[in-house]
Amino acid sequence: MTESLSLENRTALPDGLAFLLPEYPRDVWDAHPNRGPWSEFWLQRHDMFRGFSVALSDACARLADRNIEAKAFHQWFVPRVNFFFGEIDTHHKVEEYHYFPALAKADAKMARGIELLEGDHRTIHDLLMAAHGSVVALDTAIRAKPEDIASAAPLAGDGLAALGGGLGCHLNDEEDLIIPLILDRSEPALGIR
Ligand SMILES: [Fe+2]
Ligand SMILES: [Fe+2]
């Protein structure tokens, strides 16, 4: 995969990669009979990640602006950010071990798209580790060094926003590559459930 197609650099999927998207544009996805339970669950997970990403970085901005008390922030934030990080990791592992191989096998034209998505996962892992580091620093500040909260909160917000930016682009492109194939072939024919 070329550098220009990496998650940090691309602004859109290259021509031809989402080869079934013109036939199955987003506005037909909701009502299509081949949108089965797997697609439903998978798209819901993606929306959950989008929602968590915004809520967690917004919460850091509120803490940085002193619109929320540190203890209340901490109680709300810690279980959610841990859940968010853990679920991203699990979601990517399941895609890489189960679904990407099944989808790549279904059509030779999917291989390049799957390779791009796997590269995205590596980039998102790096963004997640950086966000995790800034979140740990904020946690330490709240627990033991309250004078550091003012500097740690915006850094954690920036880390989460960077993760959310990369993740958001990946989720959109992943859906544009995979949902049209599912609508074209059906979940049972692709062996996904
Ligand atoms: Fe993914
Ligand atoms: Fe995904």
**pLDDT tens across 137-157, in order?**
999 999 999 999 999 999 999
Which ligand gives the minimal distance to the CA of 118? Answer: 1
Residues 6+ apart with CB under 8 A from 55: 80
Sign of CA pseudo-dihedral 134, 138, 140, 145: positive
Structural domain contains residue 9? no
Structural domain contains residue 160? yes
**Cα 169 to ligand 1 centroid, rounded to whole Å:** 10
The label of the residue with tokens 């692709």 reads 190
Structural domain contains residue 149? yes
Structural domain contains residue 180? yes
Residues in the chain where the model's pLDDT stays below 70: 1
Structural domain contains residue 173? yes
Question: How many structural domains compose the chain?
Answer: 1
Sign of CA pseudo-dihedral 24, 117, 105, 41: negative
* pLDDT for position 2: 75
**Cα 59 to ligand 1 centroid, rounded to whole Å:** 25
The candidate with the shortest Cα–Cα distance to 124, out of 153, 98, 95, is: 95
Structural domain contains residue 8? no
Single pTM value for the model = 0.95
Phi, psi dihedral angles at 95 (to 5 degrees): -60, -45
The candidate with the shortest Cα–Cα distance to 178, out of 6, 35, 47, 10, is: 35
**pLDDT tens across 3-31, in order?**
778 898 898 998 889 999 999 999 999 99
Helix (H) or strand (E) holding 64: helix 37-64
Structure tokens at 58: 């917004």
Structural domain contains residue 108? yes
**Cα 85 to ligand 2 centroid, rounded to whole Å:** 14
How far apart CA 117 and CA 93 sit, in angstroms, is 12
**Cα 108 to ligand 2 centroid, rounded to whole Å:** 20
Question: Residue 156: which domain range?
Answer: 33-190
Residues that place a CB less than 5 A from ion ligand 1: 95, 174
**High-pLDDT (> 90) share of the chain, %:** 88
